[in-house]
Structure 1
Amino acid sequence: MTDSVPHLDRRVFLGASAVAATGLLGRSSRLLADEKAGESGMRLGLVTYNWGREWDLPTLLKNCEATGFEGVELRSGHKHGVEPGIDAARRREVAARFADSPVELVGLGSACEYHSPDPAVLKKNIEETKAFVTLCEQLGGGGVKVRPNALLEDVPHEKTLEQIGRSLREVAAFGADRGVEIRLEVHGRGGSALLPNVQRMIAIADHPNAVVCWNCNGSDLAGEGLEHNFDLVKDKIGTVHIHDLRTDGYPWERLFALLNASGFAGWTLLEDGKVPGDVVAAMRENRPIWERLAAG
């Protein structure tokens, strides 16, 4: 994918109706949270996977505002249609919608991944990440989510970890120049979602603009347990993907205690593969549970 407006000045691009959005450009999710959350610390947002996947952007913003969800991560491939291929007019429209809404664009959720042994596939994913970064900058978002998606059986794991880490460094440097954070989701098969491996990827990347998106996987409890695994990456956690807090499939109390103890003051973004019959009602029911957990 290529940038459809590669040389357009950001302030001109946003236009007069979206001037308010420019104050968000070039700042990470953690800084945004520090500035706006004050003593309340963490903030609650939504990932459009899967509760908002069938909502267009106006509906998404309306439903988040109505339920007290302060931000949104727009997962690629969903009905909102915010993708690197949109033209300049659509980019101005999206930026203006967020500028006029109390709901913030936390970032864009790409499916870009860096584990393929095929150099052409790897290059395509890196270039696509850069296209997402450019789009995110122009829309006023804070970061782009990427992922490791696998450690392959027929490739030495250390080789794949090195490749992912070096790729992260490249896109993190590109994002840093544009004020857009790169968020590595704890994700994938073959061990790519194990926290010691995620720690290794981040260490190889060795870039302050590459952070971890904690993903609340069952494998977080593997090995030496949740507390140990959390400690491996706690200083690099930029965002957190949580799930439906009405369920008990994950140790929510322990996780939020760890987040509070670590001083985390950023976005916790609800995503869940299971879609309830009434998504808006489910969001409303999650909000007070989240408030209790975040309060510690």
Structure 2
Amino acid sequence: MFRSSLQLTLASAVLATAGIWALAASTPASAFNFNGSRVRVDATDVGQTFKATFDGKVGENQVQGLSSEATFKFLGLTTLADTTEANFEITMLNNSSGNILSRTTALGFNLTDWQGNKLDLVGVGNAGGNPSGTTRSQGQIFRRDFSGQMPNVGAVDVCFTDANACNANTANGVDNDSRTRLSNQATFTATVAFTGAVKQFALSNFGVRYENINGEGYVGASGAGEFKIPTQQKQAIPEPATVGAVLLVGMLMLSRRRFQPNSSAP
């Protein structure tokens, strides 16, 4: 009877361990590497996402309720003859609230190696279309790319917009005004092309541009949003060594119980 119970317990432990191993195999143990406002990306992050949130200002004045979010999904690296492409699916959300109406019209950021050294980009602002091996974008919004200045953020290596510059006006984007033809959320695919072979890189100095800001005393104003806090969602999974150690301890305890004398015996 005891042996059957022990066998059942051990079988349950083995099945539980197998389940944990299956979960570990199917779900990444981590996603992206954050250092303050810098986000490191490498080939192992394919399929992972992170969210950058932005506040809102007009000039130097903080505007309560003016905000946006950009969710980055990394699609992977593509190595070409003399360039490396990094591909993202980016979903922009204008979630301005309260009495504020606004339109988000550009997203910009810098690209460096993990030590902060500038990386050379290929084809930023290319007027000859979107050939392979160049920085480019396509989708519902932000189908043009430039480098330049963004208010409250400064110089950015690349921005995506439908305007003629990072800090220029455009009627496109995402807004929270139900009276317009625009949605408050839209997605585009962004490709940044680096010179040479690049295995990992970092994104930093994120910023967005706002137009048509109305409410709280503003009428048709333009402004900018600075990076706030990246959020990273990941599921904690026991390391394989930890799983094995737990199973071993359980088996030893059961074996010890098996050979202990029964204190209740006469």
Structure having the larger proportion of residues in strand: 2
Greater helix fraction, Structure 1 or Structure 2: 1
- Which TM bucket (shorter chain)? under 0.3
TM-score (norm 1): 0.23
Indicate the structure whose relative CO is greater, using CA pairs within 8 Å and at least 6 residues apart.
Answer: 2
TM-score when normalising by structure 2: 0.25
Q: Which has the larger radius of gyration?
A: 2
